[in-house]
Every structure is written in structure tokens, then in C-alpha cells.
Amino acid sequence: MNVIEELFGVRGKSVLITGGSRGIGLAIAETFVKAGARVYICSRDAASCSAAAKDLQAFGSCEALPCDVSSTGDRQRLAASLKAREKSLDVLVNNAGAVWAAPLAEYPESGWDKVFDLNVKGTFFLIKELVPMLAAAATPENPSRIINVGSMNAIRLPQHETYAYPASKAALHHLTRHLASQLAAQHITANVIAPGLFASKMLEASIERKGVEKLLEPIPLKRLTADADMAGAAIYLASKAGSYVTGAVISVDGGTTL
């Protein structure tokens, strides 16, 4: 066991990460793999999911399980595929998400539905599918963990016309607290990591239009959220150190929501 594995205490744990082929999900997946966990990543894009898993196999155990979390059939197939490989699940990281931006007068119902179907409905019903596997791994001293990726824009007033996105993330934050209360008896914790501005595809247009310096102005720590920030928060919640934390919303935003 190396120093990282000993410190994090997730060696040998089974971990499923949705939206794990790029961005925040990929950063979290890489850290879990390097810490000695058995990692499964899912993404709607089967090719990119398989490619990401292949790259991560250079560091340890990772397997691709392509899935559109907003699809009932895909969620059921994902759960069945995972059950065929693992008797239980230690950590579920719900990172898959969608955003839709449009002026209020033009905001489409289809865009609203796409965002909520993935960010809230899909996440909830995937958790429902996997609770039996999470419960099978859980003990009072070492609970199973649900880690949902929320948003600082579920806490503060958003700056852009992405109406469904912050509303869906606020719903996810509250849903997480509700699940934490309901699942505690089964020794399953549920928490949220709420990132700040992250250099993702979602942010590319804002960076090109305003420039990074302008975007950093309201951030007390004067930088964007990094891969390591999100991965570290997820590892903390999944580790021995995070075993007594549940129902929490951890802002990883450089102080933006202060």
C-alpha cells in the first residue's frame, strides 16, 4: 500500500462515477483509481467512455459502463451490469449533468425537461436502483457513500440565463439532504460537492467573451476550481475521514458563495 492509498483509505472499494469520461468526473475517477479503488465510469458516449477507462487503466482498475442516466432502460442496464461485476457498491458519485441556456422569452420546455431529467430525475432513480448494492457494502463504522455534484449556483443567484440548471441543482441539494435522512438507518451517507467556476466546456464561451481575469474578480481566492479541488473533496467524503459526514453541502468555490 502506497502513501496515497493509506491516507485516503479507499483501497479496494468499488466506486461508480457517472459522467466520468471528462471534466470533473474524469478528475474524480483518476484520483480514485490512483488511490487503489475499483472504479467504473459511465457516459452517454460509449466511445469516449471506453477511451477514458483505457487511459485510466494505466494507473489501476477502471472499467467503462456506458449509460445515459436520463434513460430508464439505460439505468436498469447499468445497474444489472454493475451487479454482474460486484456484489456491493461502496461509493456512488453522481456527476452526470446537463445545462441549457436561453433568454427567458425563448426558453424551451424541451431544454427544461432535458436538464431536470438528467440532473434530478435520473440521479434520483439511479440511486434508487443502487441502494440495495450500497446497503450491502455498508457498516456502522464504514458507511457507503453517495456523493452528488451540485453547483454554487444552487446557493447564490446565477449570473446567466440557465434557468433550469441552477433550479435543478438546488433540487439536487435538497434531495441529497432528504436522502441522507432516509438512508442513515442503512448506514449510507449522502453529501453534495458544489463546485465554483470550472474550466469546462460550459465555461468556454464565458472565458472567450469576458476573459479569465474578469471571471476571477468575484472569487476571493482568485482562481478557477481545479481538478484536484473536486477530486480531493470526493476522496475526503469517501474516506475514513468523511465517514461521519452526511447531509452536507460542501462548497468548493474559492469563497464565491461567501
Residue 170 · residue 228 · CB < 8 Å? no
> Phi/psi of residue 190, each to 5°?
-140, 125
Options 40, 107, 163, 165, the catalytic residue: 165
Which of 3, 139, 121 is closest to 68 using CA atoms? 121
- Classified as helix, coil or strand, 249 is strand
Side-by-side strand order, sheet with 249-252: 61-64, 38-42, 14-18, 91-94, 144-149, 188-195, 249-252
40 belongs to the catalytic site: no
The dihedral over CA atoms of 248, 198, 65, 73, expressed in degrees to the nearest 10, equals 70
Relative to beta strand 188-195, strand 144-149 is parallel
Find, among 251, 151, 258, 241, the residue nearest to 202 by Cα: 151
| Distance separating alpha carbons of residues 11 and 14, to the nearest angstrom | 9
| Sheet strands (E) in the chain | 14-18, 38-42, 61-64, 91-94, 144-149, 188-195, 249-252
C-alpha distances out from residue 86 to 81, 82, 93, 136, 226, Å:
9, 6, 16, 11, 31
CB proximity list for 204: less than 8 A, separation 6 or greater: none
What's the chain's length in residues? 258
Which residues are known to be catalytic?
A: 165
